[in-house]
Amino acid sequence: MAENRLNRELDTREKTARKKSWTRPETLPTPLPEDGYEFHWVRISTRGEADAMNVSLKLQEGWEPVKAADHPEIFVAGVENERFKENIVIGGLMLCKTPTEFVHDRNNWFNNQASSQMKSVDNNLMRENDPRMPLYNERKTTVSRFGNGT
């Protein structure tokens, strides 16, 4: 009975592994994370025309272009823009990074802007309030789930 058995060396994991299925490639690859930094793709051109205003605003905001040598895991086929030839540029977008604190500060600033605008709208609405027909300003949201939630 032992003579009919296959040699264990012939039965390898590679031969029994499931065939890998095709997946669509990412248009914009995600770089390996760096401690203390956030990544963002910045538009440098639209339809072949340079967008110098957007690039300069993002650089002034604190975004730094990422060098291609710093992230070799991101494959760049060719140079799309001579000005940013050492950076990672794909489809008119350049990969940039900034410290995480700047991103949190920026998000807080925009949240404060939105909050003050909502207060202004509420004040304007309540200015029209009349005791004979009072206005109610309740901002409640509810989430209802249909089915079993799976």
What is the C-alpha to C-alpha distance for residues 85 and 35, in angstroms, rounded to an integer? 25
Average pLDDT, integer, range 90-110: 92
In the chain, where do the E strands start and end?
A: 37-43, 45-46, 49-50, 64-65, 89-90, 93-99
What is the C-alpha to C-alpha distance for residues 116 and 139, in angstroms, rounded to an integer? 15
Regarding beta strands 37-43 and 93-99, do their DSSP bridges make them parallel or antiparallel, or are they unpaired?
antiparallel
Each residue of 7-40: pLDDT tens digit? 666 666 665 667 778 777 777 888 888 899 999 9
Instruction: For residue 90, list its beta bridge partners.
Output: 93
28: left (phi over 0), alpha (psi -120 to 50) or beta: beta
Say if residue 150's pLDDT is above 60. no
Say if residue 2's pLDDT is above 80. no
What is the C-alpha to C-alpha distance for residues 58 and 96, in angstroms, rounded to an integer? 9
10: tokens are: 């012939």
68: tokens are: 């291609």
**pLDDT of amino acid 79:** 60
Look up the pTM and report it: 0.62
